[in-house]
Amino acid sequence: MVWTWRYEKADGTAVVPEGGPEEFAGQGDAETWIGESWKQLVGDGIDTAVLLDDDRVIYSMSLHEA
C-alpha cells in the first residue's frame, strides 16, 4: 500500500506537485506531513487535499482554516 495526497483547487482542478506526489508508508505518516505542510500548500494555491491509499480515496479535506 502506498499513501499519497492528491491536491485540488477550489474548482476541483487537480494540481500535480513538482516532482510528483510524495509517497508515505502509512496513513499516520501522511497525516503528520499534511499537518506540517498545509500552510505552504495553501500558499501554493491548493484548496483541498485528498488522502489516497493506492487509488482508494480515504477522505478529503479543505486546507483553509474554519
Looking at residue 65, what is its pLDDT? Answer: 79
Percentage with pLDDT > 70 across the chain: 98
Three-state SS for 13-55 is CEECCCCCCCCECCHHHHHHHHHHHHHHHHHCCCCEEEEEECC
**Side by side, which strands form the sheet with 56-62?**
14-15, 3-8, 48-53, 56-62
CA distance 25 to 10: 28
Looking at residue 1, what is its pLDDT? Answer: 85
Give this prediction's pTM: 0.91
